Structure 1
Amino acid sequence: MGLFERYLTIWVALGIAAGVALGLVLPDFFQAVAGLELAQVNLVVAVFIWVMIYPMMIQIDWAAIKDVGKKPQGLLLTLVVNWLIKPFTMAALGVLFFQHLFAPWVDPQSASEYIAGMILLGVAPCTAMVFVWSQLVKGDANYTLVQVSVNDLVMVVAFAPIAAFLLGVTNVTVPWETLVLSTVLYVVLPLAAGMATRHLLARRSPLAVGALVAKLKPWSIVGLIATVVLLFGFQAGTIIEKPAVIGLIAIPLVLQTYGIFFISWWGAKLLKLPHDVAGPACLIGTSNFFELAVAVAISLFGLNSGAALATVVGVLVEVPVMLSLVAIVNAWRPRVHTPRA
C-alpha cells in the first residue's frame, strides 16, 4: 500500500477539519462553489468523484461482464438488502429514535421531518462512491459495475413507490434530471473513458493498464479528500450552529449503516461469496445516493426543513463510517470468505 492508502483515515480526518475550518473562514467561496450545480448535482464535486472512480473504470474488462451472470448470488444479495431490508430498517430506526428515545429533546414536527430525511436516504442506494469503496477492498470491478447498474435500473421503478409508502404521502415525484445526470456523470462517462483508455493501452502493452492504474491511484485518493473538504465546507455553518441536532440525527444513521453492513456480511458468508464480490455487495447497501435524497427532501419539505438537514447529515457521516467498514472488510478477508474457484 502506498502512503495515501496506508494513512487514508488520517487524510480524511484532516480533510474534514480543513473543510469545516475553510467553510467558516471562506463562506462566500464555498457558497459560490455550492451554487455550481445542475439538477441538484454539484459539478465541482462531480469532477472530484470522476477523478476517484476513473482508475477503477480502466480496470473493467467488458468481455468479462458476461461472466457475472454465472454467479448471481452477489447481485441477489445486493438487491435483497437494498430494496427489501434497508428502507424499512431505516424507517424503523427513525421512528424508534425520534418518536421515542429522543422525544424529550425534539419537537414532533421536527422529528417527523428528520424521519422523512432518513427514509429518503434509505431508499437511495449509492451509485458513485461504491466504485471507490470497491477499489479500496480490492473488489471485482466488473461485478461492481453490474451491481451498480442493476440497482440504478431498480431505483427507476422502486424509489418513488417505496418512499411514498414509508413517508405516508400519496405521491413522490422522482427528480429524473438528478437521477439521469448522476448516472451519466458517475457511471456512463467514466465507464466510456475507462474503456477507451483500456483499449488504447492494451494495444500498446499487456502491462500498460496496470502501470497506469498504479500511477492514478494517489489521484483517486486526492479526489476523495477534495470531495470531503468540499462537502464539509458547504455545511460548516450548519455544523457549528446545530451540533446537537446533527449529533442526534447521526446516531441512528450510523447504527443503520453498521447494521445493514453486518446483515449483508452475514448473507455473504451464508452464500459463500468470494471476497472480491462480497466486499462491494456489502458496501453498496450501506452507502447512499445522497444527491437524489437531498433533491427529493428539498422538493417535498423545503430547503430549510428537517428532512433536508437529515439528508445532509447522511452525507457528513458517510465517508468516515464507510472508511471504517472498508477497514473491517479488509481485516476479515482471510478468515471469512473462501477464494474464488
Structure 2
Amino acid sequence: MGLFERYLSVWILLAIVAGVILGNALPGLFQLVAAAEFANVNLVVAILIWAMVYPMMVGVDPSSLPDVMRQPKGLVVTLTVNWLIKPFTMAALGVLFFEVIFADFIAPEDASQYIAGLILLGAAPCTAMVFVWSQLTKGDPNYTLVQVTVNDLIMVFAFAPIVAFLLGVTDIVVPWETLLLSVALFIVLPLIAGLVTRRLLAAPDSIDVFLGRVKPYSVIGLIVTVVILFGLQGQTILARPTIIALIAVPILIQCYGIFVLGYGAAWLLKIPHRVAAPCAMIGTSNFFELAVAVAISLFGLHSGAALATVVGVLVEVPVMLSLVAFANMTRSRFT
C-alpha cells in the first residue's frame, strides 16, 4: 500500500474538515461547482469519480468474465439484499425513528419528508463508488463489474415501482436522464477506457506497473470528492447540526445492518472474500446521484427529503471506510 492508501482515514477526516471550512468561507466557489451539471449529474464530481473508477476498470480481464457465473451465490446475495430487503428496512427505520422515537423533536410534516428521503436512499444501491470500495478490499474486479451491471439493469425497472409503493404514490417521476447518464458515465465509458488501456499495455507486467502509477489518483479523486460534498453542505451542517445528526441515526443503523446481513450471508455460504466484500458493499452504499435527483424533482431543492438524501451522502464515505477496514481485517475468516 502506498502513502495515500495507508493513511486514507486521516486524509478523509482532513477532507471533511476542509470541506466544511471552505464551504462556509467560499460559498460562491462551491455554488459554481454545483452549477456545473447536466441531467442532475454534477460534471466535476463525474470527473473525480472517473479518476476513482478508471484504475479498477483497467484491472478487468474480459477473458475471465465467463468464470463469474461459476460462482452465482455472490450475485444472489447482492440482489436479494438490494431489492428484497434494503428498501423495506430503510422505510421501516424511517417510520420508527421519525414517527416514534424522534416524534417529540420533529414536526409531523417534516418527519414525512425525512422518511421519503430515506426511502429514496434505500431504493438506490451503489453504482460507481462500489468500484472504489472493491479495490480497497482487493475485490475481484470482474465479479464486481458483473454485480454492478446486473444491479443497474434491475434498477432501471425496479426503482420507480418500489419507491412508488413505499411512498404511497402512483405518479412518481423518475429522472431517467440521470439514471442512464450515470450508468454511461460511471460504468460504460470507464470500462471502455480500461479495456483499451489494457489492450495497449498488453503484457501483464506492464499492466501491474501502470496500475501502481494510477492508483494514487483514485484515492486523490475520492478525497477531493469528499471536500466538494462537504463543502456544498458546509453551511447546512453548521446551521442545522442537530437535525442532521437525527437523520444520520437510521442511516447509520441501516448501513451497518445491511453490511452485516450481506457479509454474514456470504460467509455462511462460503463465498470467497474477493467476491464477498464487494457483494456486501454494493447494498451498504447508495447511488446518491439518483436519490438526490429524485428527491429534488419530487419534493423540491430545499425540502426535507432532499436534505435526508444529502445526509446519506455525508455519512457514506466515513461509514464505508470503516467497513473496508473491517472487511480487510476479517479476510482470513473466509475460505
TM-score interval for Structure 1 and Structure 2 normalised by the shorter chain: over 0.9
CA drift of 1:206 comes to 2.8
Q: Map 1:172-187 to 2 at 5 A.
A: 172-187=172-187
- What does residue 300 of structure 2 align with? 302
Cα deviation for residue 148 of structure 1 reads: 0.2
The Cα offsets for residues 287-324 of structure 1, whole Å up to 9 and x where unpaired, read as 00001001111111111110000000000000000000
Equivalent residue in structure 2 for 1:236, among 234, 237, 242:
234
* Local SS of the residue matching 2:174: coil
**SS of match in other structure, 2:170:** coil
User: Which of these residues, 210, 221, 224, is aligned with residue 223 of structure 1?
Assistant: 221
Q: How far apart are the structure 2 equivalents of 1:170 and 1:108?
A: 22
Q: SS of the counterpart of 1:269?
A: helix
d(CA) in 2 for partners of 1:118 and 1:46? 23
Distance across 2 between alignment mates of 1:206 and 1:109: 58
Written as runs of structure 1 = structure 2, the 5 A alignment for 1:13-92 is: 13-92=13-92
Q: Is 1:251 the equivalent of 2:249?
A: yes
Structure 1 residues 27-82: Cα deviation after superposition (integer angstroms, max 9, x where no partner) = 00100111000011100000011001111100000111111111111001000000
Deviation (angstroms), 1:171? 2.1
Paired position in structure 1 for 2:260: 262
Computed over aligned residues only, the root mean square deviation of the Cα atoms, in angstroms, reads 0.6
AA in 1 matched with 2:81: V
Distance 2:132 2:100 in 1: 36
Cα distance in 2 between the residues matched to 1:256 and 1:10: 25
Which residue pairs with 1:210 in the alignment? 208
Q: Structure 1-normalised TM-score?
A: 0.97
Q: Does 1:95 align with 2:95?
A: yes
**Aligned to 1:132, what secondary structure does the other structure show?**
helix
Are 2:300 and 1:314 aligned? no
CA distance in 1, matches of 2:187, 2:135: 15
Pairing 1:151–2:156 present = no
Aligned partners of 1:140 and 1:3: how far apart in 2?
23
C-alpha displacement of 1:244: 0.5
Letter in 2 for 1:69: M
Q: Does 1:326 align with 2:324?
A: yes
Q: Does 256-265 or 167-176 show the bigger shift?
A: 167-176
Give the residue type in structure 2 aligned to 1:143.
Answer: Y
Q: Write the letter of the residue equivalent to 1:61.
A: D
Structure 1 stretches of at least 4 aligned residues deviating more than 6 Å after TM superposition: none
Aligned-partner residue type, residue 234 of structure 1:
L
Structure 1: which amino acid aligns with 2:275? V
Structure 2 match to 1:139? 139
Q: Displacement, 1:225? A: 0.1
Looking at structure 2, the residues matched to 299 and 174 of structure 1 have their Cα atoms a distance apart, in angstroms, of 8
Cα deviation code 1:167-187 (max 9, x no counterpart) = 111122221100011001100
Secondary structure class of the residue paired with 2:12: helix
Percent of aligned pairs sharing the same letter = 66
Q: What CA distance in whole angstroms lies between the structure 1 residues aligned with 2:152 and 2:39?
A: 17
**Counterpart residue identity of residue 151, structure 1:** N
**Which residue matches 1:166?**
166
One-letter code aligned to 1:7 = Y
In 2, the alpha carbon distance for the partners of 1:327 and 1:48 equals 23
Paired letter, 1:84: L
Q: Aligned AA for 1:172? A: I
Partner Cα distance (2:140, 2:208) in 1: 15
Q: Partner amino acid for 2:155?
A: M
271, 281, 288: which is aligned to 1:273? 271
Query: How far apart, CA to CA, are the structure 2 residues paired with 1:164 and 1:321?
Result: 28
Instruction: Normalising by structure 2, report the TM-score.
Output: 0.99
Offset, 1:273: 0.3
Give 5+ residue unaligned stretches, structure 1. none
CA offsets 1:162-210 (integer angstroms, 9 cap, x no match): 00011111122221100011001100110000000000101xx330000
Distance in 2 (CA, whole Å) between partners of 1:206 and 1:281 is 26
CA drift of 1:271 comes to 1.1
CA distance in structure 2 between the partners assigned to 1:222 and 1:243 by the alignment: 28
1:189 aligned residue: 189
Describe the SS at the equivalent of 2:103: coil
Deviation at 1:106, TM superposition (A): 0.2
